[in-house]
Amino acid sequence: MTTRWWIVVLVGGAGTLALRSSLWVLLPAARSLPRWLTQALSLLPAAALAALAAPALLAPGGNLDLFGPRAIAGALALAVAVKTRNVLLTLVTGFVATVALERFMA
Amino acid sequence: MNRRRANKRAMAPDAAQPVMPLRWVDGARDVLPLAVGMMPYAAVVGVLMRDAGFEVEFAMLFSVLVFAGASQIAALDLMAAQAPVLVVLLTMLIVNSRFMLYSAAMWQLMADEPAHRRLAGSYLLADQAFVVAVGRKWTGVGSLWPYYLGAGVLPWTCWQLGTMVGALLGDVVPSWMPLGVALPLVMMSIAVNQARSRPALAAAVVAALVAVVARGLPAGGGLLAAIVVGMAAGLATEHWIAHRGRPAQSGAQSGAGA
């Protein structure tokens, strides 16, 4: 492998671990965080997941496609998720709908 | 042991039903749909590494040391375009900067664990383990460590297996299988389960909108902007709910909201 890649893998790995361990390892003494920060952090999972999922469904490949197969399948899956709160059922619904719509709309 | 996360339900269990500490199998079971959902994505990253001329051993080293798909794809992209190594590294760190936020949120749950567990746990900290560990129904009894370990090791294993299969076999999946859609579907579903309160719902909706609008920003900047703006929207909603109906006090306690 090239030296360039070795540097990327080793330094990138170390840097990523540093980001992951930042507040656990570097600040063990900071026992109490301010209230607004703990509130903000409790909102983090919902915000992060929505931010990861939305572009992949509404703009697959980078271009906005609000009525494309993935957006429609995503809307169907969203309805199932809200109604049932069942992850597996949501996944199966969205996946089958995507397969069907991508064939149908192609 | 007045843990701040212990909510009223957990502190007042039914007398007939003793509260059990969470085991590692509970964590593994809760993370299972996410871990399975990430395998096709892992296989795609493996195929990309194979296409970039990686030997399987080096591909595995990359996946084990970095263990973060989006940044691995970004690095492969930029290296193929002959970008300077410094640019590649900076991009990877920006793409992975959400782990710093995760770390801050998780740290409160792990504060009582010894240092070696915190270090090992931080290595396993990815989207999947984080979401499950923070969203779990903690019983308020015992350490969260076994549960977190179960929620962390399973996605790690799926990621390594998936990239290895991709790097070994290349493109073996039929092209009509929309594999890329599995992970966002699972993430959306868990986001719905997370967004039970109005502030969390506001955070999710705003984050989704910003992520779509700002998707073109380089180096994952759109993702980070979406998370931060979404959290701010959630805080604003919380503030608004807390101070609705008692406007006379709004000035005195505004420090908590802004």
Residues of B in contact with A42 (CB under 8 A): 105, 134, 200
The better pLDDT of the pair B180, A90 is held by A90
Report chain B's mean pLDDT, rounded to a whole number. Answer: 80
Write the DSSP symbol of residue A59: S
Please report the pLDDT score of residue A76 as a whole number: 95
> What's the rounded mean pLDDT across residues B27-47?
86
Q: Which residues in chain B touch residue A60, judged by CB atoms under 8 angstroms apart?
A: 180-181
User: Looking at the complex, does the CB of residue A8 fall below 8 Å from at least one CB of chain B?
Assistant: yes
Chain A residue numbers touching B206 (CB-CB < 8 A): 47
Report yes or no for ipTM above 0.85: no
Least confident of A6-20, B148-162, B168-182: B168-182
Q: Which letter does DSSP use for residue A40 in this model?
A: H
CB atoms < 10 A from the CB of B57, how many?
10
Please compute the mean of the pLDDT values over residues B221-238 and round it to a whole number: 89
pLDDT of B20 over the 90 cut: no
| Predicted confidence (pLDDT) at residue B36 exceeds the cutoff of 70 | yes
Q: Is B130 in contact with B148 (CB distance < 8 Å)?
A: no
| pLDDT computed for residue B119 by the predictor | 86
Q: Is the pLDDT of residue B47 over 80?
A: yes
Nearest to A12 among B66, B195, B211 (CB): B66
Q: Is the whole-model pTM more than 0.80?
A: no
Instruction: Give A 59-88 residues with CB within 8 A of chain B.
Output: 59-60, 62, 64, 69-70, 73-74, 77-78, 81-82, 85-88
Instruction: Name the residue facing B204 among A31, A46, A98 (closest C-beta).
Output: A46
pLDDT at residue B238 greater than cutoff 70: yes
CB-count burial class (<10 Å; 0-12, 13-18, 19+) for B191: buried
B163 vs B144: which has the higher pLDDT: B163
Residue A10 distance to chain B (closest CA, Å): 7
- What residues in A contact B75, CB-CB < 8 Å? 8, 12
pLDDT at B18: 59
pLDDT at A27: 59
Which residues in chain A have their CB less than 8 angstroms from residue B99's CB?
A: 16, 19-20
Q: How far is A67 from chain B (nearest CA, A)?
A: 14
Please tell me the predicted confidence (pLDDT) of residue B251. 43
H/E stretch holding A93 reads helix A87-105
Res B49 pLDDT > 50: yes
Contact B182 A42 (CB under 8 A): no
What pLDDT shows up at residue B125? 92
Which residue in the set A59, A69, A87 is minimally distant from B190, CB to CB? Answer: A87
The verdict on a CB contact (< 8 Å) between A47 and B206 is yes
Q: How far B7 CA lies from chain A's nearest CA (Å)? A: 14
Task: pLDDT band for B148, please (50, 70, 90 cuts).
Answer: very high
- Mention every residue, 6+ apart, whose C-beta is less than 8 A from residue A68: A60, A105
Place A39 in a pLDDT band, splitting at 50, 70 and 90.
Answer: confident
In the predicted model, what is the mean pLDDT of residues B182-210? Answer: 87
> Which CA distances in Å does A77 have to A57, A85, A87, B36?
11, 11, 10, 18
Task: For residue A84, give how far its alpha carbon lies from the nearest alpha carbon of chain B (Å).
Answer: 10
Cα first-last separation, chain B? 30
CB pairs under 8 A between A and B: 285
Nearest to B92 among A15, A58, A94 (CB): A15
Residue B5 has pLDDT above 50, yes or no: no
For the cut 60, the answer to whether the pLDDT of residue B17 exceeds it is: no
**Is the Cβ pair A98, B178 closer than 8 Å?**
yes
Q: Is the pLDDT of residue A7 over 90?
A: yes
How confident is the model over B59-85, as pLDDT tens digits?
A: 999 999 999 887 888 788 778 878 888
Work out the burial of residue A15: count CB atoms within 10 Å of its CB; fewer than 13 is exposed, 13-18 middle, 19 or more buried: middle
Q: Can you give the pLDDT at residue B249?
A: 46
pLDDT per position as a tens digit, B92-141: 887 787 788 788 777 777 878 888 888 899 999 988 898 888 877 666 66
DSSP chain B: ---TT--HHHHS--TTSPPPPPPHHHHHHHHHHHHHHHHHHHHHHHHHHHHTT--HHHHHHHHHHH--HHHHHHHHHHHHTT--HHHHHHHHHHHTTHHHHHHHHHHHHHTTS-HHHHHHHHHT--HHHHHHHHHS---SSS-SHHHHHHHHHHHHHHHHHHHHHHHHH-S-S-TTS-GGGHHHHHHHHHHHHHTTSHHHHHHHHHHHHHHHHTTTSGGGHHHHHHHHHHHHHHHHHHHHHHHTT-GGGTTTTGGGT-
Region B9-36 average pLDDT? 72
Decide if A100 touches B, using CB distance below 8 A: no
> What percentage of chain B carries pLDDT values higher than 90?
26
Query: Quick one: average pLDDT of A22-40?
Result: 68
Comparing alpha-carbon positions, the chain B residue that sits nearest to A13 is B66
Residue B252 has pLDDT above 60, yes or no: no
Neighbours of A105 (CB within 10 A): 10
* Burial class, A31, CB count within 10 angstroms (exposed 0-12 / middle 13-18 / buried 19+): exposed
